[in-house]
A and B are shown apart, each in its own frame.
Chain A
Amino acid sequence: MAKDGPTPLERFIHGIIPENPVYRQLLGMCPTLAVTGNMAAAMTMSAAVLFVMVGANVITSLIRGLLKPHLRILIFTLTIATFVTIADKFLAAYVYQMSKELGPYVPLIIVNCIIICRCEVCASKQSLRAAVADAVGQSIGFALALASIATVRELLGSGSWFGIELFWRKGTPGEACRWAIMNQPPGAFLTLGLLLGAAVWIALAWNKRTKVNI
């Protein structure tokens, strides 16, 4: 176990681009594919993940001295499940329609690997400040990734962004010019695949130019 590990600032920055949960770590694929049909759903999911990740990282970091190696995963899961249940109830109480739309994917945050990964990699080994910075950074990275996919899918699939009809779409008749597959599961796979390819291509080009590996 490294004594210090990366500083809080490094943890924060790493989460956003260099170790982006979706594009670099390929974790949390279930919500990435399932709730990116429109921006509102993707951002609600990101907010829920932010809440759960900060909560789980804070608790894990506070009790890190007491963790027993063979019981740690159990404790992570227990902590995560508690915060997910709180998030789920909150959505059902205050944004009921969105909670219905997200359906089982909010409870499924419990098995979102990003969160348990951050508890294991960072929060169970580092100080509270590093753990919070890490959770916020990773959540922003996750939100950006979801936003990128949801933007493509909502623009092409529904011709809107956050449910607002875009100006060049106004007056276009009905469903005719919309690319329905983008609203459906195959659209999620296509978009993720193409954006992932683009992300890797950009990273490789960057590495070549700067001779610094990211």
Chain B
Amino acid sequence: MKSGYLKQAWLVLALALCFGAALAVVQVAWGPKIEQNKENDARSQIPRLVVGAGADLTPAGRNVEIRDERGLRAYRVYRAMCAGEGGRSVQIGWVVKAKGPGYADNIELLVGLDLKAETITGLAVLAQNETPGLGNAIKAPAWRRQFAGKAAGGRLEAVKGTPHADCEIEAVSGATISSQSVCDIVNRAVADFRAKLPELRDEE
């Protein structure tokens, strides 16, 4: 019986092996380039995240990996630098790259924070595969702007209709789950980051 299965399916298995090998070659050849593209894209967002667009900012500085107590979550952190007096660059904020589950697929965000990580200064969406026409409205600048100025200590909630409290974000209509997912990712990333902030500041 077993040989019967093999007789039926050998072509599928052989093709799967060949195609798998071909894709591995593709990944080895282009993987680093794709990662570099993503990294450049993330860096190009930083000036808009920490202060207003067109600001005199250079996305420089070291990246720091942060892991929480369970060692499960790792964030890439950027120092948002600004040209200060005498050509020295001064840090004016932080940008945390966070990833978490959305409605359809993982959502990747950049969260801008002020120097003391007390206020969220901006939000950018690096990657998302939410429903076109509904959930993908989380990319819209007008929606993301709601996050700027929120206190970093609180828990953000997505609500239907007009928000009444400071910690509320108006959900994209028809996409409450996508909106809440973004809030959850931001909440967790900011909380994790704030817990590790003293260590990061010591390294300066």
User: Do B30 and A93 touch across chains, with their CB atoms under 8 A apart?
Assistant: yes
Question: Which of B8, B27, B37, B129 meets A96, CB within 8 Å?
Answer: B37
Instruction: Flag if B26 contacts A85 (CB, 8 Å).
Output: yes
Q: Is the CB of A93 within 8 A of B33?
A: yes
B residues 16-43 in Cβ contact with A at 8 Å = 16, 19, 22-23, 26-27, 30-31, 33-34, 37-38, 40-41
- Give A74 to B30 CA distance when docked, in angstroms: 27
Q: Do residues B19 and A79 form an inter-chain contact, with CB atoms below 8 A?
A: yes
**Cα distance, A100 to B41, chains bound together (Å):** 10
A71 touches B12 (CB 8 A): yes
Say whether A202 faces chain B, with CB atoms less than 8 Å apart.
Answer: no
Q: Give CA–CA (A99, B138) in the complex, Å.
A: 18
Which residues of chain A have C-beta atoms less than 8 A from B22's C-beta?
A: 82, 86
Q: Are A71 and B8 in contact (CB under 8 A)?
A: yes
1/0 contact trace for A93-131 toward B, CB 8 Å?
110100010011000000000000000000000000000
Contact B133 A78 (CB under 8 A): no
Q: Are B11 and A68 in contact (CB under 8 A)?
A: yes
A203 to B31 CA separation, bound complex (whole angstroms): 47
Asked whether any CB of chain B lies closer than 8 Å to the CB of A156, the reply is no
Q: Which residues of A contact B33 (CB under 8 A)?
A: 93-94
Asked whether B11 lies within 8 Å of A89 as measured between CB atoms, the reply is: no
Task: State whether the Cβ of A63 lies closer than 8 Å to any Cβ in chain B.
Answer: yes
Determine if A78 and B19 form an interchain contact, defined as CB atoms under 8 angstroms apart.
Answer: yes
Q: Is A66 an interface residue (CB 8 A)?
A: yes
Q: Is B72 an interface residue (CB 8 A)?
A: no
Q: B15 near A: Cβ within 8 Å?
A: yes
User: Taking the complex as formed, is A34 at the interface, i.e. its CB lies under 8 A from any CB of chain B?
Assistant: yes
Contact A89 B132, beta carbon cutoff 8 Å: no
B residues with CB within 8 A of A: 8-9, 11-12, 15-16, 19, 22-23, 26-27, 30-31, 33-34, 37-38, 40-41, 129, 132-133, 136
A residues in contact (CB < 8 Å) with B = 34, 63, 66-68, 71, 74-75, 78-79, 81-82, 85-86, 89-90, 92-94, 96, 100, 103-104, 185
